[in-house]
Structure formats: C-alpha cells, structure tokens
Structure 1
C-alpha cells in the first residue's frame, strides 16, 4: 500500500493501556512491513490532528474502537477535517461489521482467565449513548451466547454511560442463583473501564482483547483495504 497509516486509540492515563496501544501499532507495522503512527482521540497526545501534521500523504486512519460511538462518528472525522487535508481516508472502526473476526479473541481471553463449563457468562462493554453502537454490542452478545451457552444472547453489563452497569448485571445473576459468573471483556486495552469490570464482583474476568492475533489481523485488513471513509470526513 502507498502512503502512511495512523492508528487512533481512545486514550488513557493508565500506563498499561498506553503500552497496549503501542503494541497494536507495532503489531500492525510488522504485518504491513511499514511504520504505523499512533494517535489518541482523547486524554493523551498526540491528537489525531497533531499526528497528521508530520505525516506525508495519502494517510489511512484506522480507528481502534470496538463500536461506532461518539469518537468514531464525530470526534475523529472532525479532527481530520480541521487539518484541512484532503488526502486522508478514515476506515470503519475495528469492530464495525466484524464481530465474527473478533470473537476468537473474546473466547480466547475468557479461556485464559479460567472460565469453566457451567459458568454464566456476561459481556462487559464500555458503554455508549449511541443506539447504533449499543446495537453493535448487542450483536456481539448474541453471537457470544451461541458460542458459550448454546442459547440466547449473553447478558450485557456496561462500564459507563449505559445501564445496567456491569456490577449490577453480575449482582442480578447471583441473586437469580448463578454459582459462578464469568465476564467476557469487550474492551481493547487496560484503563478505567477495564478496572471497573475487574471490580464487578465476578468470579472470572477476562482481560481486554489487546494485541490478540485476530485483532491485529483485522486492524491490518482495515489499513490495506482503505474502506470507504466515514461520511462527512475528507
């Protein structure tokens, strides 16, 4: 592929979260055989606009987000727009339309955490006020439920913004008689939200997806395909 690649993560003050973002960028670079720059949508720098200042074009921006929330729909395109550049393409986010490709990472992280047969599995996600982003997470829960339980959708608990919160979902399942509760973490990296999930009171809490091969494979495919830009973005 020609031009540069900019991976955009959410941003966190958590050192492990920053390290994970760097691992994602480095893993993409190894697969692409070319450098991958890293920027953040919030909390820490460089911002998208700052990172683009020093990049020759054309540039493919890959949002490392599991759902199409505010940063994906509004913030990142606006940061690109403010640069005035017309040679930047923003791909769909990591999780958009690609649940099947990421399910192996979710299931592997559960297994690594020690999930057992008979555990009640809950899906924990960051939380969003966007109905579309919520629907994307509900789609993940439906597919995960078929994989780990063979029946209906996996219950969802949110780390912020939406309800029920993850600790409420875990408590409700215990009150309903669940002996062990395992949480599948639909987050990319350690940070505030992952800390809340770990404190949910579940017996088993899977780690964030991080640089799982399925994640790196899909991020790389996003860059290589340079899919249609997000509407309204140059």
Structure 2
C-alpha cells in the first residue's frame, strides 16, 4: 500500500509565514527520510488549514488520484490540540474520505512531545542569558484557546520551563481565549519591577499574531522606558523541533494509537 504524509500548517496572509512553514515542512520531510530508511520514498506534502494555499482537501485528493496514495498520515503542525485539531480537521477528513473511498486516512494529534518543547524553550533562555545577563523575567505568549485542556498544557510547559530559572520572574499572556491578555501581563511585569524581559512566543511561524506581538511590545516600550523587551526565536526556527515532528510521524504510524478515519 503506497503511503503518503500530509503536513498541515495553520495558514497566514504573511508571505514570510508561508515561506517559513514550507521550509519547516521540507525540513521535517528530509529528516523523516534520512533517519528512517523505510520512509525514504514516502511522498510528503504541505497543506494549510485556512487562508493560504494549497488547502488540505486539494492536496489529499491529488495525492490519491494522481500519486496513487492509499494510506495517508496527516500530521498537524500545531502546538496544542484545540478547535482546529478537534473540529476543523476531522470535518475536512470526512470530505476527503467521502471522495476518496479507497484512501485510508489517519490523523495524528498535534505536537505531543512537550518535554522536548520545554528543552527548546530552555535553550532559547540560555542563549539569551549569555547575550544579555540583565534579563530578570520571562513572558510566555500563546495564541490562546477556549479549550481548558490546551490552557492547562501550556501552563505546564511554562512551569516546567521556568523551573530551571528560579531567579527569573515569569508570567504568561494570550491573544484570545482563556488567560490574561498582553496588556495585563505588561502591567504585572511593571508592578514587579522588571527591567529586562525575554519574550517567548508560543508560535511556530511568522504571521498576524507575531506581527501583533512585535507591535504591542514596541508600543509598550515607547511609553515605559524602564522596561525593555527582547524576543526569542519563533519555535518554527528550531531544527530540533523538526526532528520532533519527524519522529512523531514514525511513532504514530507504528503504534496506530491515532484517530483512524
């Protein structure tokens, strides 16, 4: 049975975000094939949930009709399980399955190796501290979700990451959903007497939210000269995270402990 892998990114109107997602997906595919001989000839493609093209349905049906794929592994390039992974993707998969009757589709959960994600964050903090010893606080910023489970997982990541840096103050902020917004987090930092804050975006690729974050950081800094921000790289810039996703594909195909459609 001919297998294929479909990596699914969120999508953005920002060209740099599309390019970053494309490069990241290529990195995941290259690592998958280089590290696992049985996957050397597996077809890997990238699609987007919304806004950007190509979309998931178009790529999946093309892989089925033109490439002869009969077993398709879908891996969401998402950091947490929320509305897209729990509702939108299953609905799209239903449409694919309806129009591709001989295609077996399996969807993995989004990123599930949170320990490796914590290590990536910790490395970002170590790197920043080597460049700027005056950092006295960490600000973790998430896109946000109305799903309590996603909120709890993110807070666990924050706690585990910051546990290695007990001398640094920490707080978190969200663009939407549960949790405090950025303005509230800024006020907390100011009230705590923070002077130099490292911002850790819980985002994979450049897009509307990363641009909004940069804008709000600059606006706050202009009105509060005593509080300085510096931002860690986006998570999609991490080679280690490419390895994490590549290994997740292999593991979920072996365990078959995934959603089978």
Q: TM-score, normalised by structure 1?
A: 0.88
1:198 to 199, 214, 218: 214
1:96-123 per-residue CA deviation (whole Å, 9 max, x = no partner) reads 3x21111232233345555535421011
Alignment of 1:60-209 (within 5 A): 60-84=73-97, 85=100, 86-94=103-111, 96=112, 98-112=113-127, 114=131, 116=133, 118-149=135-166, 154-201=170-217, 203-209=229-235
**Greater helix content:** 2
Offset of 1:29 from its aligned partner?
1.7
The range that moved more, 177-186 or 122-131, is: 177-186
Q: Greater CA radius of gyration, 1 or 2?
A: 2
Partner of 2:36: none
Contact 2:134 2:196 in 1 (8 A): no
Q: What secondary structure, in the 3-state scheme, does the structure 1 residue paired with 2:30 have? A: helix
Partner of 2:249: 223
The reply on whether 1:50 has 2:58 as its aligned counterpart is yes
1:176-226 per-residue CA deviation (whole Å, 9 max, x = no partner) reads 211222111111111111122223435111121114122111110121122
1:20-53 per-residue CA deviation (whole Å, 9 max, x = no partner) reads 1111111012112244200111111222111110
Contact 2:4 2:44 in 1 (8 A): yes
Q: Count residues with an aligned counterpart.
A: 229
The range that moved more, 155-164 or 67-76, is: 155-164
Contact 1:14 1:192 in 2 (8 A): yes
Structure 2's unaligned 5+ residue stretches are: 34-41, 64-68, 218-227
Q: What secondary structure, in the 3-state scheme, does the structure 2 residue paired with 1:210 have? A: helix
Structure 1's unaligned 5+ residue stretches are: none
The range that moved more, 62-71 or 176-185, is: 176-185
Offset of 1:161 from its aligned partner?
3.2
Contact 1:157 1:164 in 2 (8 A): yes
Q: What secondary structure, in the 3-state scheme, does the structure 1 residue paired with 2:240 have? A: helix
Q: Give the distance between the partners of 2:132 and 2:114, measured in 1 at CA.
A: 21
1:115–1:92 CA distance, 2 compared to 1 (3 A) = farther
1:110–1:198 CA distance, 2 compared to 1 (3 A) = farther
Q: What secondary structure, in the 3-state scheme, does the structure 2 residue paired with 1:32 have? A: helix
Contact 1:27 1:211 in 2 (8 A): no
